[in-house]
Amino acid sequence: MKPGRVNIAPSILSADFARLADEVKRVEKAGADWIHVDVMDGHFVPNLTVGPVVVKWLKEYTPLPMDVHLMIENPEKYIPVFAKMGAWLITAHWEACRRPAEIIRLIKRCGCRAGMSVRPKTPINKLSPYLKDLDLVLVMTVEPGFGGQSFMPDMLSKVRWLKERRARGGKPQWIEVDGGINSETAALAVQEGANALVAGNAIFGAPDPAKALRALRSSANEAKTHHPRR
């Protein structure tokens, strides 16, 4: 995990679930940094996905860190079991946390890095009190719930705000964007300061996921090296 690297986290939401281990292996070989696992409960978002057992079994097939995104009510109920099954970083939604500081402490106590996410309508400054304790902030660039939606460019101002805060306080280490990320939108997000990119459809929906991942990486690197915003 080199400093300055843009981390690419393919989201298994768009993978072929009947061949999940192969899909993950394929992106691992193509240079993925993390595996993004979208957990949905049918309450916080109108969709249902996977539970801790998927993290457990994927860990048997890949050494990549599991970046677990909880889109669920009452995240405190499930954080310990996700940690036990091998999550490396756990992100909860600010909107689902009655006491965000306690959730962050719980994630860390369970041995994981701590992330917090906001839906598109939530102002990013709601996270101000917690930034010093967060390893990652996940900026939703679509309404959470489904893969394959269009990127919301207005969310870039949240990335910029986080980058400015990080310049002052060193936190959060990772600014992650999630939703509608492809080679073009990845470049925009990286220019504003994002250093972790979640991509589902752009990678697993492509005819050649390895090639799509490499294209995303080169676009992110190009944006970081040649066009950073001041």
The site for ligand DX5 (CB under 6 A) is made up of 11, 13-14, 36, 38, 69, 142, 144-145, 147-149, 178-181, 198-202
Distance, in Å, from the CA atom of 152 to the CA atom of 101, rounded to the nearest integer, reads: 28
Chosen from ligand DX5, Zn ion, none, partner binding at 144 (C-beta under 5 to 8 Å by type): ligand DX5
Q: Contacts for 119-122 with beta carbons within 8 Å, 24 or more apart?
A: 119/93, 119/95, 119/143, 119/144, 120/152, 120/154, 120/155, 122/94, 122/95
Cβ distance to Zn ion smaller for residue 41 or 178: 178
Helix, strand, or coil (residue 91): strand
Annotation says 33 is catalytic: no
Interacting positions 68-107 with Zn ion (CB under 5 A): 69
- Considering CB distances under 5 to 8 angstroms, the limit depending on partner class, which of ligand DX5, Zn ion, none binds residue 173? none
Cα gap 193→159, rounded to integer Å: 6
By rule CB under 5 A, what string of x and - marks binding of each residue 53-72 to Zn ion?
----------------x---
Tokens of 91: 């992100």
* Residue number with CB closer to ligand DX5 (16 or 164): 16
Return the half-sphere exposure (C-beta side, CA atoms, 13 A cut-off) of residue 20.
20
Considering 33, 38, 67, 135, which one is annotated as catalytic? 38
User: Which residues carry out catalysis?
Assistant: 38, 178
Q: By CB under 5 A, name the binding residues for Zn ion.
A: 38, 69, 178
